[in-house]
Structure 1
């Protein structure tokens, strides 16, 4: 659920830059232009062994703790332009700096800051790399990135090298080399680099997580998550996604472009990186037909999209196996008519939960093989949802819950609910699913970004309420 904030000219120009060795398919008329951060065909080989650790692990490392969290926001499009409202609604947050190549967007966001009674923020609008100056500021604690995907890695890298904690919208990077570099930078600079996965904070997801940890599902067996969201109209709307950047990723990759919304919650259920590990992934994809069919029906003959050749599978289905033998199914489809669905399934030896709509079957509570009422388990709601029953903001309140918890951890000096190892794991299906489809479903090894520390059980998003 990331968004734009950088110019169409930027996306077009960078489509063939910063991607040496990453040629993964056609952009536009069929040339092998590689987008920044795009996954490499070389990824079809088995993932290499973990490189040597360059610093101490960030597992269990708390934030410093401070009364005021000074935030810089990079990208003020649909996503960043709305999330600033939630930052400003949180106690102890000061928005210090704003960055976007479109000056009008930063000025509108700056007015929100001053209207909230805060000092005017510094503005960074002088070119595509002005974010680097923002990241070097001495009066920032946290950088929030909500820009086109190809910019996520360089922006997170700049924030870490500037000594800032950083939170990035999905996906955090687009190839394994970049994911490993973010792990190394986080460890070396002792700053957290987080995938801000809002769906992990959904009320249903957090309730199911707590129920799983209480043993209601028995021994866990399998889970499923997805991003099924008909984006055809939005991807051809130049105002919603500024320029063609979002649509053009469908000319570069075949696999799951957006695994995090499904993989994050499923990984939490299975305690991935906290006692279990995602080991390998196999992906199969359908033909790419949906965007071309929509273009034929709705776009005039002179529309720029007619120069594009779409390769992204309309539906990709991935199976992830864990070290304990469990299975996670991931699906991605944004190119066909379908009501919104994240699947959100968890099953074990005592029963199963399925979402959209939410329904549950648990033994011994139920019999007769009829779905039961998930609402009867509201007592298992996470304490965050009990305290914030009607949170503000979009996506059912999960955005607010996520930011509230992040800021709470930073102010109280707590260990974050998830870390750079989770970010890398949840995003790894982007390049690996592409590689698997190219290799006719051949399994691809998922790196152990924790370098062996996944075996140690530890807390995560199913947190205890802090005393402070």
Structure 2
């Protein structure tokens, strides 16, 4: 990752919640008590000019979705379902169906392609992992870490990757404090950081 820019909305949801539940005189119901906004958006740029958009929103009044992902490439795209009753969708250029009337591209359920494209780790652990937090993501991260220790190998995500991803929060706050200014992400693997 090369740089990021972050923006935060006003803080309204928590103030409103405390006002409704504890009265307008409660300190947390007063304007200015909450410093963080309801929603934050961070745009990350990688060295290879890939754009990553992150949105964090823990306080807005709406159903929470911990596993909403979108992936867009040149040959396909993926959109996760917004709730458990909605399908994850996928589109593949020159492979997904089209409407007969006008040839419009169509999304289709991801499950149509899962036997072909599921990752070997998901094939091994998916049934169990799906019953854990964040759609199985937490389980798979821990499973990889433990496997690396047991197999005496370098983990897929090393300490430098972890520090880089962890720095996104702090660098985002710096960008917000500077009015959305672009902030460079340090290269923690370089000699100056060891």
Q: Which range, TM-score by smaller chain?
A: 0.7 to 0.9
Pair 1:377-2:93 in alignment: no
Pair 1:322-2:60 in alignment: no
Q: Which runs of 5+ in 2 are unaligned?
A: 83-87, 99-103
Whole-Å separation in 1 of the counterparts to 2:24 and 2:41: 33
CA contact (8 A) 2:5 2:172 kept: yes
Pair 1:348-2:78 in alignment: no
Q: 1:225-304 counterparts in 2 under 5 A?
A: 278-300=1-23
Which residue of 390, 393, 397 corresponds with 2:127?
Answer: 390
Whole-Å separation in 2 of the counterparts to 1:425 and 1:299: 40
**Residue 101 of structure 2 aligns with which residue?**
none
C-alpha root-mean-square deviation of aligned residues, in Å? 2.3
Q: Tell me by how many angstroms 1:403 deviates.
A: 2.7
Q: Tell me by how many angstroms 1:320 deviates.
A: 0.9
Whole-Å separation in 2 of the counterparts to 1:356 and 1:418: 27
User: Secondary structure at the residue paired with 2:112?
Assistant: helix
**Residue 410 of structure 1 aligns with which residue?**
149
Whole-Å separation in 2 of the counterparts to 1:299 and 1:285: 26
**Residue 428 of structure 1 aligns with which residue?**
167
Deviating beyond 6 angstroms after TM superposition, the runs of 4 or more aligned structure 1 residues are none
Q: 1:325-336 counterparts in 2 under 5 A?
A: 325-336=49-60
Structure-2 change in CA distance of 1:445 and 1:401 (3 Å): closer
TM-score, structure 1 as length reference: 0.35
Q: Tell me by how many angstroms 1:303 deviates.
A: 5.8
Whole-Å separation in 2 of the counterparts to 1:345 and 1:283: 19
Whole-Å separation in 1 of the counterparts to 2:16 and 2:181: 29
Whole-Å separation in 1 of the counterparts to 2:49 and 2:77: 18
Count of equivalent residues: 175
Q: Which runs of 5+ in 1 are unaligned?
A: 1-277, 453-468
User: Secondary structure at the residue paired with 2:108?
Assistant: coil
CA contact (8 A) 2:19 2:26 kept: no
Whole-Å separation in 1 of the counterparts to 2:24 and 2:71: 46
Q: Tell me by how many angstroms 1:305 deviates.
A: 4.1
CA contact (8 A) 1:288 1:311 kept: yes
TM-score, structure 2 as length reference: 0.80
Q: Tell me by how many angstroms 1:442 deviates.
A: 0.9
User: Secondary structure at the residue paired with 2:20?
Assistant: helix
Whole-Å separation in 2 of the counterparts to 1:399 and 1:432: 24
